[in-house]
Structure 1
Amino acid sequence: MNAKVSDHVLRRLRAWDIDHVFAHPGEGLKGFAAAWVRAGNRPHLVRAGTGATAVLEAVGHARFSGKTGVCAASRAPGPVHPLDGLYDAALARVPVVVLLGRARGDTPDGAGDRASDLLALPEGVAPVRCRTVTAPERVPDVIDEAVRTAREHRGPTAVLVDAEMQERDAAPGWPEPPGCPWSQRPRGTPAAAAGQDLENAAEVLNSGRRVAILVGPDARGAAEEVRRTAETLGAGVAKTLLGKDALSDVLPWVTGTAGPAGTRPSRELLRDCDTLLTIGATAPEDRFPAGCGPGREVRICRAPGPPGARHPHGVDLTGDVRVTLAALLPLLRRTDDRLWQHAVERNAERWRTALERRATAPAHPLDPEHPVHALDPLLPADAVVCADSGPAATWYAHHLRVRGALRGCVVVTRSVAGSVVPCAIGAKFAEPDRPAIALVSDVTGHPDGLTELVTAARCYREWFDPRLVVAVWNGHGTDPAGGGGHTRRGTPGSGRARWLPGASYAEFARSLGLYGTRVEEPGDVRRAWLGALRADRPTVVEFLRERR
């Protein structure tokens, strides 16, 4: 039998070292489904519950594997549902390629269809670069362009393949691609900034008396260089929310996260500094007010970007973060004045003491911050932690200390409920030998979060370490965004005004053959975490935020 276009799409993905594809089956993907059977399930197909969760699992895989995440979804009844997940890829700046299948008769000119056609949405609405396979011989070029664009721009791309095109015979004479030609690999980042720029940056930093360092996600892999820079300059270090796992929180002069979910010592650090060094933080993450004057900022990043909101950067250093920092370090002058750094350390210590006092105070019902605070000393050093963008993001930012090989992320999507569970599942396929913890704020746990527990129940035997702990704060259907559990009952704006049907997440997990436990009292929190971290399968830990 002649090879089909769908066969060569999978071959080209293998040539780009794609080892997992997350897919939601549908009418528009029948050709790909047959191709996966012929290919011996290479790349490995992971079936997701919906098109949006397939994208989010691909995003989670890309975050923690360092590779390009790939997902497939049927275009009918429209790609807007997968589009929601693509926003997370754009905001998280990770490369993702989505294969869209279009069933026969589902044409973009159909009545009422064009409004939901991803290819018709402007780039301002859909942060996706879209391509269509129009002929069999175009497959290598379209797939190569999609993967290369996703890697270069660190965002999502889409490839539309009609059902009819999937089953057409491939162009004759195509060999199995031996690999990705060097000419088609993404353009590399400059190894380091220019020498004159390094000298200008060193001059700015050496003249500072109160230096602050802001670390972003692109600084992962450069933790030692960041530590040496801070010790040389006598600086305090704050981290963006997405860059929380780029540097250990055990270092005394690390003040935690900055921004909306930031800590008080980080806010004071950026307010009182006279010189700011931004490392691996990209817009809009680095747009935090800083106390330094114009020209007193130095930024090191992979690619040039817009300056901060308050002051223009004095020097922009474009290049690999670790290599650039290593080249800058010999030019920095070690300071003997440690008054500023010691003040930063005292502020950070006071903040940690206040956090502990607040999280461990007696509370009935259960204080929502207490479970995360209790989790911190129990976290395995190689754990992967995913938090949603609701209140759990703040608890993750404040109470969990990064140390060892711990990795973490916050799902920053704008419009998908239940996004953190599929992200954690994608992380498990990227890091199958690590335990994973998903922190879920009630209303963001369903419906898609509950759906993907089915995926976890089906797939956990494929993971070397089967531990996936889904921690859900159950307010009995109250929306945390509306103030459920945080405002007085009956007052305007309380969570009761945004009532959603309640659900027992622990019981649902047990119905799938997973473990599930419900926690109502503070004294049971530690026991529940220990049981989940010792389990031989995924576990749902349900923390009740209110009594019925």
Structure 2
Amino acid sequence: MATADTKTVADLMVERLHDWGVDRVYGYPGDGNNPFLLALRRSQAAPAFIQAKHEEAAAFMAVAEAKYGRQVGVVTSTQGPGAVHLLNGLYDAKLDSAAVVALVAQQHTSVLGSDYQQEIDLQTLFHDVASPYIQTVASPDAVPMVLDRAFRSALTYLQPAVVIVPHDLQQAQAPEIGQEHGQIVTAPGWSRGRTLPRERDIEAASEIIEAGDRVAILAGRGMRDAQRELIELAEHLGAGVTMSLLGKPYVDESHSLVAGTMGHLGTTAAARVLQDCDTLIIVGSNDPWTEFYPAPGQARAVQIDIDPSMLGNRYPIEVGIVSDAAAALEALRGRLHARPGSQWRRDVETHVANWHEISRLRAAVEASPLNPELVVRELADRIPPDAQLAIDVGSCVYHYARQVRMATTVEAHLSSTLASMGCGVPYGIGAKEVAPDRPVVVLAGDGAMQMLGNNELVTVASRWPSWPDPRFVVVVLHNRDLAEVSWEQREFEAQPRFEVSQQLPAFDFAGYAELLGLRGIRIDDPSRIPSALDEAFASDRPVVVEAITDRDVPLLPPFPHVDEKLDAIRGALGEEGAAGARARDLLDTYVRIEMEHR
């Protein structure tokens, strides 16, 4: 332990992290952050250090800490390449509004500006991703103040903050900070309080909603603490509820008015509710899929958000309410007349019921060898109510949005707005570190696993013996294709799939798991799916379930939006020969199911 005479700035940094209640620091070592890492070793009250296998993954883990734990995620890296590798995870935090603080090393102050080894302009590098707060510490006296401001910025703006600390400054003796000129004494601590709506905004919004006949609600993650109030308002108005991808975990999809996720990967029920509504209430959402909103002018709109800068950001609203979602929704319900048994309510319930049948029938479509929708549907039935779910990016997100209807007690997260492949296993690790006594489920494609997930299974293998609950189930949809992009080539470009860019090399995911001391289960028979998943959740160690799925199962936008694109998709598949013919048969099957249940 450092004494008063030997205490360094790095020791002071560790103390400040402790004062902020930081439990873990994710990262990777290098010469630049060695003083900080060794200060972690020396301290008896230091946060735990979780070593990732790549700085990008470490940043994703810090984002997961923020999302699952609702606290600041902290990540550290060395200078140069280590700092560059952080960018993808930090942009994930920026675009999904997650509070992350990055502690980044820099070369010695004496060599800055000399093109020294691993010297890059870190202020410029992080300027966009951490625009609310980025600071290079120039003096030992400034360390507590800069860290305090970084944490308060991250929590206030829900954006990354970056603190750059040169190597020699980390090694410097810790200062005694008093009241001398040029010294600033600050304290760790932050509180948001509660924001209540203005009465005149509630009144104006109520007039708009009352005038409409067909009310739709678009719920984002900003309503996660207003789940009861949102459903009560929907029932009061007979309103259809749709969700952004980030809002999906917080809305009970078993409710007859809940139409599911909106957007390109959303449900047909959500698409029809938004297409047919005349009034839209946006609650805590900044979903970018604007082509799936009501057409401008079709619906009068009200928006509720805690951040005034979000009002009118995606759709032309008439009234914006700056407020905690629960308070605003409660106030609105008290002013609006109930609409029991309305025709719109009956229409919404019909759309929802039809969609539930469509999704069931899609999962039942025979594929070679496995239909990925069936795998995910069976997985959803087995997710424990106290689980934490991490979803990687790719075709698996479509199946998550359409086939997973889970309890709202399940925390589920993914890289939504950035949509970065490779986040799944790092997110799962972060979730497990936040709550090691809860089971974790990771859903990923083989492309994302080959990109980053396989590396971080090594981290899982090293960490799991310390977890009280060893359940960490990774379900890999293995089709040897970058399926989402293959279908995008057909849909958006009206071109056949480009084999060279899309095909993935073979990889034995189950065998690899066994090599790491984990459990590996391979499924290529539909009848084996239930028992294999049951085995995975009963295992005494983390499990990789490798499901061999069919790359030709369609990934389509919801009806009716896909109608105008079907000819282009069919034409592209026609240029793919025999393989395209098979995919076209599956496409036609999906279309027939939809047409029979409109």
Same-fold status (TM-score > 0.5): yes
Pair 1:274 & 2:283 matched = no
Q: Report deviation, 1:357.
A: 1.0
**Residue of structure 2 equivalent to 1:480:** 483
Q: Which moved more, 1:402-411 or 1:241-250?
A: 402-411
Deviations 1:418-459 (A, max 9, x none): 221101110111122221111111111124211111111111
1:251 corresponds in structure 2 to 255
Residue in structure 2 matched with residue 142 of structure 1 by the alignment: 146
Q: In the alignment, does 2:397 pair up with 1:389? A: no
Instruction: Give the aligned partner of residue 58 of structure 1.
Output: 62
The unaligned stretches of length 5 or more in structure 1 are 175-180
Closer, same or farther in 2 for the Cα pair 1:93/1:421, shift >3 Å? Answer: same
Residues 404 and 193 (structure 1), Cα distance of their counterparts in 2 relative to 1, 3 Å cut: closer
Structure 1 residue 534 corresponds to structure 2 residue 538:
yes
- Greater shift, 1-10 or 277-286, is seen at 277-286
- Given the alignment, which residue of 441, 447, 472 partners 2:445? 441
* CA distance, structure 2, for counterparts of residue 503 and residue 85 of structure 1: 26
Q: What is the TM-score of this pair, normalised by structure 1? A: 0.91
Larger mean Cα displacement after TM superposition, 95-104 or 4-13: 95-104
Aligned length: 537
Q: Shift of residue 12 of structure 1?
A: 1.0
For residue 196 of structure 1, give the secondary structure of its aligned residue in structure 2. Answer: helix
**What's the counterpart of residue 368 of structure 1?**
372
Of residues 197, 204, 209, the one that matches 1:205 is 209
Per the alignment, in what secondary structure is the counterpart of residue 397 of structure 2? helix
CA contact (8 A) 1:189 1:319 kept: no
Distance 1:127 1:480, change over 3 A: farther
Give the C-alpha shift of residue 485 in structure 1: 13
Structure 2 vs 1, CA of residues 113 and 315 (structure 1 numbering), >3 Å: closer, same or farther?
A: farther
| Structure 2 residue corresponding to 1:164, chosen from 164, 168, 182 | 168
Q: Deviations over 1:298-343 (max 9, x none)?
A: 1111111345477521111111111222233211211234211121
Query: CA 1:500–1:115 in structure 2 vs 1: closer, same or farther (change >3 Å)?
Result: farther
Q: Structure 1 residues 269, 110: CA separation in 2 closer, same or farther (over 3 Å shift)? A: farther
Distance 1:335 1:182, change over 3 A: farther
**Quick one: which of 11, 27, 33 aligns to 2:31?**
27
Q: For each residue in 1:336-388, what CA deviation from the matched residue of structure 2 results, as whole angstroms up to 9, or x when unmatched?
A: 34211121111111111111111112222212222101112212112211112
TM-score, normalised with respect to structure 2: 0.84
The letter of the residue matching 1:234 is: G
C-alpha distance in structure 2 between counterparts of 1:75 and 1:506, whole Å: 36
1:425 maps to what in 2? 429
**CA deviation after TM superposition for structure 1 residue 191, in Å:** 2.3
The amino acid of 2:482's aligned partner reads: D
236-245 or 415-424, which moves further after superposition? 415-424
Residue 471 of structure 1 pairs with residue 482 of structure 2: no
Asked if 1:117 is matched to 2:121, the reply is yes
Could you say which residue in structure 2 is the equivalent of 1:524?
A: 528
Q: Relative to 1, partners in 2 of residues 1:117 and 1:470: Cα closer, same or farther, differing over 3 Å?
A: farther
1:297 pairs with 2:310: no
In 1, are the aligned partners of 2:300 and 2:317 still within 8 Å (CA)?
yes
Cα 1:113–1:348 shift into 2, 3 Å: farther
Mapped contact 2:428–2:440 kept (Cα < 8 A): yes
CA contact (8 A) 1:74 1:100 kept: yes
Matched-pair identity in %: 33
Structure 2 CA distance for partners of 1:300 and 1:486, relative to 1, 3 Å: closer
- Cα RMSD, aligned residues only: 2.7
- Report if the CA contact (8 A) 1:432-1:463 is conserved: yes
Q: CA deviation at 1:89?
A: 0.6
Aligned mates of 1:167, 1:330 — CA distance in 2: 60
| Aligned with residue 269 of structure 2, among 265, 269, 274 | 265
Q: CA deviation at 1:295?
A: 7.7
For structure 2, list consecutive stretches of 5 or more residues without a partner in the other structure: 179-184, 552-598
How many angstroms apart in 2 are the aligned matches of 1:228 and 1:322? 11
TM-superposed CA distance for 1:404, in Å, is 4.4
Q: Against the structure 1 CA distance between its residues 146 and 535, is the aligned structure 2 distance closer, same or farther, given a 3 Å change threshold? A: same
Return the letter of the residue paired with 1:527. Answer: S
Question: CA offsets, 1:29-57, max 9 Å, x none?
Answer: 11112111111362111111111111000
Alpha carbons of structure 1 residues 419 and 269: separation in structure 2 relative to 1, 3 Å: same
